[in-house]
Amino acid sequence: MTEKPTWALVTGASGGLGESFAALLAVDGWNLVLAARSKERLEAVAERIEKTSKVQVEVLALDLSELGAGKRLHDECAKRNIEIELLVNNAGSGLFGESVELPVDRVEAMLCLNVIALTELSSLFGRDMKARGKGRILNVASLAGLGSMPYFASYGATKSYVLSYSLALRAELKPYGVGVSCVLPGYIRTGFDGNAGIESRKYRAFSDRNAMDAEAVARRGLAALARGRGYAIAGASNKLSAFGMALIPASRLPFLMKPFLDRLVADKRA
């Protein structure tokens, strides 16, 4: 993706999709800043990457769900004299359940991570890229952001924001030589379901049957960024789902999806 080794920052890089982004970028010769909460897991990822490549890897452990964490991350890169030319905003979390029953503090943390941190990082590093006249930003949204989804109401809304924000930012920064893209995956084989609080075995089985490998999603996102695409939906079946969702009136879609989701989680409610 680049003629000479430069620095890329990957958030949520302690495993799953974030680790896949980091590994693929390392193959292309990017030096890496890896950010996530767990220093131990980040160091393990860094060690695996350094064993198979000659790139430099820096680890920054912080919780991006805390207000102001994005600025602290930006400041730390500046302190280390690292110019980020590729930002991958991968860090994110989900919550599954009836909206009025979810713990408010967990919803707030998710909103801070999925929306505020992503916006803060895109703004701060995007400003640097604009000043230099080059750079790229890849934001990770979700297929859930294309329609209102019961039990994923807040999560889906954050991912809708990510797509909308990314497309607008792309138009603003393109004249300055900065590219912005967004990748929309569906189910991925990561620990998302457990972290989101999904306990239904039936739902998890459905998720696993329809899940993509994290590396395949990361490849699709990086390819979209390299080609200057505004956004890309990862996976043929997800593209088909997106097409079908677009044909249904926005006000009707959640009422059509709810009975289907109710059947998936019926084993947990029994």
Q: What is the mean pLDDT of each run of 10 residues along the chain (270 residues)?
A: 73 95 96 96 96 94 96 97 97 92 95 97 98 97 93 95 98 98 90 77 78 91 96 92 91 91 74
Q: For the chain, what are the domain ranges?
A: 7-269
Determine contact, residues 10/25, Cβ cutoff 8 Å. Answer: yes
Residues annotated as catalytic (active site), given as ranges: 155
pLDDT at 191: 77
Q: How far is CA 116 from CA 62, 109, 162, 237, in A?
A: 15, 10, 10, 30
Q: What are the tokens at 254? A: 């959640």
To the question of pTM greater than 0.85 for the whole model, the response is: yes
Q: Which residues of 224-250 are buried (b: 16+ CB within 10 A; e: fewer)?
A: bbeeebebbbbbeebeebbeebeeeee
pLDDT at 2: 45
Amino acid at 8: A
Find all residues with CB under 8 Å of 191, minimum gap 6, and list them.
Answer: 15, 16
Q: Collapse the DSSP code of 184 into the 3-class scheme (helix H, G, I; strand E, B; otherwise coil) and give the result.
A: strand
pLDDT at 42: 97
Determine contact, residues 141/165, Cβ cutoff 8 Å. Answer: no
Q: CA-CA distance, 138 to 142, in Å (whole number)?
A: 13
pLDDT at 270: 45
On the 0-12 / 13-18 / 19+ scale of CB atoms within 10 A, 173 is buried
CATH tag, 7-269: 3.40.50.720
Q: Which stretch of DSSP H or E encloses residue 60?
A: strand 57-61
